[in-house]
Chain A
Amino acid sequence: MIKNIKKKNFLFFLLVLLFLIINNFFYNLYYVFKSDFTDRMIFHYGYCYKNGFGFIEDIYKKYNIEYNIKTYNNLTTPDSDWFFYNSNFAENKNKIILLNYNLDLSDPNFIEFRSQKYKLIHNFENCYYLEKLND
Chain B
Amino acid sequence: MTEILNLLFLTFILLWICQFPLCKNDFYKPITQNLNTLELMSFNLSIILTVLLILSFWTFNLNHLFWILIFLPLLNLIKKKYQINLAQLLLLAFSTFVTIIYIAANLKLEWDGQLWIFKTINFYNENNFNNLSNIPGFITYPHLGTFIWAFIWKNSFIDHEYTGRIFYVFSYCLSLILVISEKKLELTHKLLLLIIFFIFSIDYYLLGGYQEYLVFSFLIFIFYFYHKYFIYSKSTYLIPVILFINAALWIKNEASIFVIFFLVYIASHHVLKKRKIKIEIVYLFIVSFILIFLKYIIFYKYFNAINTGWDGYNINPLKTLFSFTYFFERAYFIFFSIFVSLIKCKIYLLFFLSVIFLSTKNNFKSLLPYLIFFILNITFISLIYYCTNNADWKTYMATTVDRLLIQTSGIYLIIIYELITFNILKNDKTTNQ
- Residues of A at the B interface (CB closer than 8 Å) are 8, 11-12, 15-16, 18-20, 22-25, 27-29, 31-33, 37, 40-41, 44-45, 78-79, 81-82, 85-88
Contacts and interface: CB of A to CB of B under 8 A. Distances in A.
Contacts of B282: none
A69 B212 CA distance: 30
Interface residues of chain B: helix, strand, loop or mixed (majority) = helix
B118 interface: yes
Interface stretch (B12-20, B127-135, B323-331, B386-394): B127-135
B160 A82 contact: no
B77 interface: no
B104 A32 contact: yes
A88 to B, nearest CB: 5
A15 to B, nearest CB: 5
B188 interface: yes
Contacts of B198: 19, 22
Contact of A18 (B3, B186, B195): B195
A44 B107 contact: yes
A12 B185 CA distance: 13
Given A32-B105, A82-B114, A82-B117, 5 more contacts: A23-B98, A78-B115, A79-B114, A85-B118, A87-B125
Interface of B: 1, 3-4, 94-95, 98-99, 101-102, 104-109, 111, 114-115, 117-118, 121-122, 124-125, 127, 131, 134-136, 158, 160, 186-188, 191-192, 194-195, 198-199
B195 A29 contact: no
A15 B131 contact: no
B1 A33 contact: yes
A44 to B, nearest CB: 4
A87 B199 contact: no
Contacts of B125: 86-88
B105 A11 contact: no
